[in-house]
Chain A
Amino acid sequence: MTNHEPLIHIARRDGLVWWRAWCIRLAAAVLALLVSALFIYSITKLNPVKVYAAMWEGAFGSPRRAWVTARDASILLCIGVGLAPAFMMRFWNVGAEGQMLMGGCATAAVLIYGGGALSTFQLLLVSTVASVAAGALWGVIPALFKARWNTNETLFTLMMNYIAIQITCFLVALWENPKGSNSVGVINQQTQAGWLPALFGKQYLLNVVIVLVLTVAMYLYLKYTKHGYEISVVGESENTARYAGISVKRVIVRTMALSGAVCGLSGFIAVAGASHTISTSTAGGRGFTAIIVAWMAKFNTFVMVLIALLLVFLEKGAVQIASQFHLNDYASDVVTGIILFFLLGSEFFIQYTVRFRSHGRNNEEVQA
């Protein structure tokens, strides 16, 4: 008799107790470390424990390293926080890269043209406003098209990235110092005008504080305000939203303005608070990495803190093993890839349960 039961049966879980979900994640992390260890040993013959220790060293080995990790994690987190409202609305904003670059360009412009005329406080105020406005503009354009003509927002926001990258290239050529070098160099290096100041002697503390405030504010906004409720209703079903008297168009445009504004602000933090220059590497793919941050955290901005830290930790760790063991960067990228694969994969096992076909004897019993 033919057996119609498939070899593997996948079913959606009804919901998992939180601690079981975390057990699955922990198991995935352990498995990822084991597989990476196998890879490390088979390719390089290095002691995996030493390699993991080196990764930790690279991210947190000295106060300075820890601050650099915090600085980079906070920028990544900021973009993730910016993506949260759009994603919750099921509006696939993959344009964070461009929104961040536009914010960065606006900040650089203020620092360059206002450097001699305004005080640092004024410069910071103006560049914050400018970066928020530029990012919001870059977010609103695709939203308007979506609201008016129902265009595909994924493609639209993606294409807006390329425009932003080209604008950045153009501005770099305009501001390059010296001419022809394709580099703007450090803006206001002598005066440090318009740079985010150190807080309590810690250079990047202000960056971290700004982003953490945003993280809390966004959590509250999404969870407890009328706007946040409208966003989740539109995300669940536009028809329901319309039936409930919510103006879907207005919510889309408003939410994307907010999303773009926060991403634009991340550009401000990157330029005024970290690199003090502008180039396409100001965003450097972080607008895309932040999509992973937002997704893995299921749009919960507090969980994003952990994910952003994890990703930056992996990146710094990869750089450290490249330097310490003379491994090519690509080798350490493989380790990062393995870890991400397992962590993302574990979400599948949290959402779904997998059952294998039971043995023949049991089948007969069932059929009988």
Chain B
Amino acid sequence: MKKFSSLLLALCLVLSLGVCAFADEGGIAPEDLKIGMVCIGDNNSGYDIAHITGLEKAMEALGVPAENVTYKYNVGENEEAADACYDLADNGCQIIFTDSYGHQTYTQQVASEYPDITFCAMTGDLAAASGLDNLKNAFNHTFESRYVSGVVAGMKLAELIENDELTDDNYDADGNVKLGYVGAYPYAEVVSGYTAFYLGIRSIVENVHMDVRYTNSWFDPTAEGSAANSLMADGCVIIGQHADSTGAPAEVQAYHEAGHTVFCVGYNISMLEVAPDVALTSAGNDWSVYYTFALQSMIDGTEIPTDWSEGYNEGANYIFPLGDACAEGTAEKVEQIEAGLTDGSLQVFDCSTFTVDGENPTSFLALDVDGDFVGDEGEAIKDGIFYESDPELRSAPYFSLRIDGITELTTEE
């Protein structure tokens, strides 16, 4: 028995050596791949959980041992981010991910000093402009899952109209149904998201108008709740969100229990637990697609593209399971829309479906090269389609057009 096991061990060794030799062409064997992951929060934050589980899934799929990753939790968007990156680099990590936008400038600083280590600033936008070969950016097509979640909300709205469940308060002076959206910051990522959500709803119900309220925080349950409350008090029927807490859905549930017709759509996590009667679905990101791609590239020794952005076509986006409140036929409709997004026959930002100041946009420059926050180059609109997060331009969203039908309420009341 002992002989047999040692033979087996030897066989394993030979085989793994063979694998090593095979992967030697600049690549790294999965068991030798050391990964660093810098998180802005920890396993209490839905945003970080999405990244951590994505990375773990990727490692498992590629046979990278779990102990090969070092996490740095609760890393602020200041010198702590640089400290964490330096430390991971000193400890032999070959690829380092930072999961928050604000980590990026520090990631860049460290990347410039460690040219042999690959740094991926997730959701960042500076990689191409930095001129560093080892700095990468990645962003899912979140706008696609937002569009699909908008379709879910639109189906519900159509049902409410058909059953005559809306009151006069729910319509504005022009006869449009009122919608609300709780946004974090007036930032392109948020603008791109709420516009996609709105267009998703409008693909089902044409006469809609959406108000957007900002909380000026990515995570602030109280502010998100009160923003939702003032939108609902204004007569909004659907509350969407781009902020990371459950503050808004909880308030929508309470307002619903008080006898009002309101429903909500969440982000990143299922809201069914806090809002069982009103949560329709949530828009989701599957980060494991990118992490698998990046780690596979390290193992194969191939170059990771500077900008990576994929959506339904690669399975990087999805929506959470539909709530009981969803209208009949929603699942079928979602399936149809998702199929369209997957094969590319459906484009979220088809310029014929929306207007800016009354006109269909024909040109949008995505990239700002002189630092004035106005695009100077990189045409995003081709053949009447606004290509958001086009890896040729930039993976981070740049759709910042304020389209007709949406009002940003920026002033506090």
From B27-35, B68-76, B338-346, give the one contacting chain A. B68-76
Tell me the nearest residue of chain B to A62, going by C-beta: B90
Measured CA separation A185–B77 after assembly (Å): 8
Does any Cβ of B come within 8 Å of A277's Cβ?
Answer: yes
Measured CA separation A182–B215 after assembly (Å): 12
Q: Which residues between 176 and 198 of chain A lie within 8 Å of chain B, taking CB atoms?
A: 177-183, 185-186, 189
Contact partners of B216 in chain A: CB under 8 A: 173, 182
Q: Which residues between 171 and 200 of chain B lie within 8 Å of chain A, taking CB atoms?
A: 185-188, 190
Taken residue by residue from 51 to 79, chain B's Cβ proximity to chain A (1 for < 8 Å, 0 otherwise) reads as 00000000000000000001111101111
Does any Cβ of A come within 8 Å of B373's Cβ?
Answer: yes
Measured CA separation A239–B156 after assembly (Å): 75
A279 in contact with B42 (CB, 8 Å): no
A178: contacting residue among B43, B73, B83, B368, CB under 8 A? B368
B185 in contact with A281 (CB, 8 Å): no
From A17-25, A26-34, A210-218, A321-329, give the one contacting chain B. A321-329
Contact partners of B44 in chain A: CB under 8 A: 328
A323: contacting residue among B73, B77, B79, B218, CB under 8 A? B73
Min Cβ gap A232→B in Å is: 37
Residue pairs across A and B with CB atoms within 8 Å: the count is 76
B73 in contact with A183 (CB, 8 Å): no
Taken residue by residue from 217 to 233, chain B's Cβ proximity to chain A (1 for < 8 Å, 0 otherwise) reads as 01000000000000000
Q: Which residues between 107 and 145 of chain B lie within 8 Å of chain A, taking CB atoms?
A: 108-109, 125
Measured CA separation A322–B190 after assembly (Å): 32
Measured CA separation A186–B42 after assembly (Å): 24
In this complex, the interface size class of chain B, counting residues with CB under 8 Å from chain A, is 20 to 34
Contact partners of B90 in chain A: CB under 8 A: 62, 64
Min Cβ gap B132→A in Å is: 12
Measured CA separation A277–B108 after assembly (Å): 14
Contact partners of A105 in chain B: CB under 8 A: none
B76 in contact with A181 (CB, 8 Å): no
Min Cβ gap B250→A in Å is: 23
Contact partners of A185 in chain B: CB under 8 A: 102, 104-105
A180 in contact with B188 (CB, 8 Å): yes
B79 in contact with A276 (CB, 8 Å): yes
Contact partners of B86 in chain A: CB under 8 A: 64
Does any Cβ of B come within 8 Å of A290's Cβ?
Answer: no
- 26 A-B Cβ contacts within 8 A? A64-B86, A65-B87, A68-B83, A178-B187, A178-B188, A178-B368, A178-B373, A179-B187, A180-B186, A180-B190, A182-B185, A182-B187, A182-B218, A185-B102, A186-B108, A189-B108, A275-B78, A277-B77, A281-B77, A281-B78, A284-B76, A322-B42, A322-B74, A326-B71, A329-B73, A329-B74
Show the binding face of B for A, using Cβ within 8 Å: 42-44, 70-74, 76-79, 83, 86-87, 90, 101-102, 104-106, 108-109, 125, 185-188, 190, 216, 218, 368, 371, 373
Show the binding face of A for B, using Cβ within 8 Å: 62, 64-65, 68, 173, 177-183, 185-186, 189, 274-277, 279, 281-282, 284, 319, 322-323, 326, 328-329
